[in-house]
Structure 1
Amino acid sequence: MDDIDLQILELLKSNGRMTSSEISKIVHLSVPSITERIRKLENNGVIDQFTVKLNRKAIGQTLLVYIFVQLHGSVETQHFRTTIIQSPLVLECHHISGEYDYLLKVGLPDLSVLEGFITHTLKANHDIVRSNTVFILSTLKEE
């Protein structure tokens, strides 16, 4: 990757719908050159996918929390992984190091849904030793 590839990536990160024609005007390369560079970035796995970033508040997810989860033993791991990634409330799930096993990013409409998620999705279905919920007050940067 060179500086032009990095510039193309930054432009696509800011607007994934930007056309090759629009990018070519900014980076001063021909449209076919831009198209070929984007294709190579995709083929090399640098660009994983093009997606849409949703406004969580507009779709009713006004509450954003991170939940640290510690499971009781490794027997529970596969069941936890399988079920937690199926929840539409879970935006991200990370296997982490340290005293907890997983970090979940969860978007919810309100506290009652959070309570139900913790009670019925997490604690009732999994052998959880402990969890810790952190509320996001505001987001300064999110990519």
Structure 2
Amino acid sequence: MDSIDEEIIRCVLRNARSTYAEIGKAAGLSAPAAKRRLDRLVSTGAIRGFTAIVDPQTLAWRTEAFVEVYCRGNPTPGELRQALEGTPEVVEACTVSGAADAVLHMLARDITHLEQAIQRVRATAPVERTESVIVLSRLIDRPRL
């Protein structure tokens, strides 16, 4: 990974739909060279995919919670990720140190929707139990780099 690769990654993080010409301009490459570099980043796994980031407000998903997940056995992070990927209300998931195996950031339309989503998480194979806290207000919400 060099500075050109890093610039390509920054460009697609800003806009995953950037054209090869836009990526090339940002990285100081021609469009064909940018395509080759981007393809290499994808094939090596440095870039795992491209996605749309939907503003939860447009879905009217304004109920927010952090959910600690406690698992049966010792699932790998990959197994846990696979179990949680099918729950769109899980917008972020991290393995953590401490008693919990993972912490989820969840968004839902309302409390009923949140409860249903948490029930679906609890029904996944590795999950034994959860503990939830509902967000009342955001005090600091900085963009990520």
TM-score range, shorter chain: 0.7 to 0.9
2:68 is the counterpart of 1:68: yes
Bigger-Rg structure (1/2): 1
Superposed displacement of residue 12, structure 1:
0.8
CA gap 1:44/1:108 in 2 versus in 1, 3 angstroms:
same
Q: 1:141 corresponds to which letter in structure 2? A: P
Superposed displacement of residue 116, structure 1:
4.8
Q: What is the correspondence of 1:44-83 to structure 2 with a 5 Å cutoff? A: 44-71=44-71, 73-74=72-73
| CA RMSD in angstroms, aligned pairs only | 3.1
Scaled by the length of structure 1, what TM-score is found? 0.75
| C-alpha separation in 2, matches of 1:36 and 1:53 | 25
C-alpha contact 2:7 2:26 (8 A) present in aligned 1: no
CA gap 1:10/1:131 in 2 versus in 1, 3 angstroms:
same
Unaligned runs of 5+ in 1: none
Scaled by the length of structure 2, what TM-score is found? 0.74
2:140 is the counterpart of 1:141: no
What is residue 98 of structure 1 aligned with on the other side? 98
- Kindly provide the CA deviation profile for residues 58-116 of structure 1, in whole angstroms up to 9, marking residues without a partner as x: 01211222111335x539x79xx576554332233434321212212211112343345
Q: 2:25 corresponds to which letter in structure 1? A: K
Superposed displacement of residue 17, structure 1:
0.6
- Kindly provide the CA deviation profile for residues 103-136 of structure 1, in whole angstroms up to 9, marking residues without a partner as x: 1221111234334555x446799753x6141527
C-alpha contact 1:66 1:136 (8 A) present in aligned 2: no
How many residue pairs end up in the alignment?
Answer: 138
SS of the residue corresponding to residue 113 of structure 1 reads: helix
